[in-house]
Amino acid sequence: MAPSPLLNPDPSDAEVVAEVLAGDTARFEVLVCRYQPRLFGTARRYARREDEVQDIVQEIFLKAFSKLGSWRADAPFEHWLMRMAVHTCYDFLRSHQRNREHNTTDLSDDESDWLERHAPAPASGGHDAEAARTLVGKVLDKLSPPARLVITLLELEDRSVKEIAALTGWSVPLVKVRAFRARAEMKKILRHIASEKYL
């Protein structure tokens, strides 16, 4: 006999989705609580301001709720949700593209230090990961939305080309082409930053 939702302290995603689709919308909170840390981690890769991050995560959950009927239980709910998350983050990047122009010389002290240590001899020196991450954030801000998405998924989240294709809906060759262009775009920006700093 299937356990009652009231007695089951840890219902599966499929059970919760079935309850929500049956009309118990309050049960959606179980899914929100379960996946919100994962979505916050993802959204923080694309947005820097905390209010933007919260808006993105909220939007993902609202979309997930309205499209819940389209989830097929043969694939994990998390994969379906992450696909929605990636699409929402991509939409965010495209809608905020014009607001993301920065002066590349506008580096913090930590970021300048990081460049000074690593630019002359990249393999040497310690790791100031936080400075590197914010510096990467500034470089990524200068990239086009598809380039930023593919660099984030491929290089920062360490996903395979196939995974990226599944998440974005792009074909595998398109992911490869966009990854190639994104790396070239990123190098160009880095070269620009470095030349501004050292010339």
Interface residue list for another protein (CB under 8 A):
25-26, 28-29, 32-33, 36-38, 40-41, 44-45, 50, 54, 57-58, 61-62, 65-66, 114, 118-120, 122-123, 127-130, 132-133, 135-136, 139, 151, 155-156, 158, 183, 186-187, 190-191, 194, 198
Residue 32 CB contacts under 8 Å (≥ 6 apart), including other chains: 61
SS3 content of the chain, % helix, strand, coil (to 5): 70, 0, 30
Q: How far is the CB of 43 from another protein (least distance, A)?
A: 9
Q: Which is nearer to another protein, 1 or 107 (CB)?
A: 107
Q: How far is the CB of 78 from another protein (least distance, A)?
A: 14
Alpha-carbon gap, residue 88 to 112, rounded angstroms: 32
Q: Which is nearer to another protein, 120 or 169 (CB)?
A: 120
Q: Which is nearer to another protein, 74 or 124 (CB)?
A: 124
Q: How many angstroms separate the Cα of 57 from the Cα of each of 62, 72, 162, 192?
A: 9, 22, 25, 33
Q: Which is nearer to another protein, 94 or 187 (CB)?
A: 187
* Joined tokens for residue 64: 């997930």
Question: What number of other Cβ atoms are within 10 A of residue 129's Cβ?
Answer: 9
